Structure 1
């Protein structure tokens, strides 16, 4: 198993890079988040996942070990292959993905190309407990746990406000002013309307 490679980038052709390691060129598929973090460094280290199918052997690379860990969690979900997992990690950063799952934000996940509403809901159901137990190395973990404690009724209140005719951003702004995490959906809506 190829777990990590350090070498020089010869070519960048998103989502693929050609990495030269000891005279051998490896074609590696990377999420866009890793592409942005690469800049134009001479030598680079990538955490890799080697994926074998009947008709292909593909190498996926990630700047951070946390991205690789999340990628592996995503491909464990039934119906989510490596290409879809790569699209998710290209669309959402680690904190956004974990917050979307923790807060059951299927609308945000469904904005990823190749993911429909049903797949987004399946991701949330299968990943919610696994991601909560996940030990990540990065500093993003603090922000994830902080926002995972948000009142679960907030999303329902936001949907109710949108049904009343408020725009998404407007509803979110009205609800973000409320600091009490123990309110019911009805109390949240009432306070949001008073804050308007």
Structure 2
């Protein structure tokens, strides 16, 4: 059974104290400071500080510590966080902001644009054998079930995997059915590629 994967960043009272201690800031840290402090804590193997910067509930904290006990896993996650900083966004169910040169700006997007972009990123990652990125775009139940390595193995062993990816790309060209909590790109009458919204972001839940 795979360890519970990295958790979403979410500032709490404890994490605020941790950021202030790490950064020496006298103000409430913003998203970039929190993300940078999180990456630095992982790089320096300060797992308690890293954990304090997540929204992990008490019952999931042992899995977090177990997952990041591996130095290569910590390094990969820290690099992933740092690489995402230039395109940092903050999201809520009905609101997204992106960091621009002029500061934070509200993102106005067509209802199907966000899930379409996520699905495209997922399929591109699969096509490039970038299993860490592909895994990060899965819904939470699937991220718990899989690791990037196991995801790779399943795609390589599943005879219909290539066909499902091909059909998902075809579905991208059609109209999406979007609700407040999920989006579906139909594949015929009874099947479809389904994405769910988690903490304001779409994640791939099923290819058919």
Same fold (TM over 0.5): no
Query: TM-score, normalising length from structure 2?
Result: 0.30
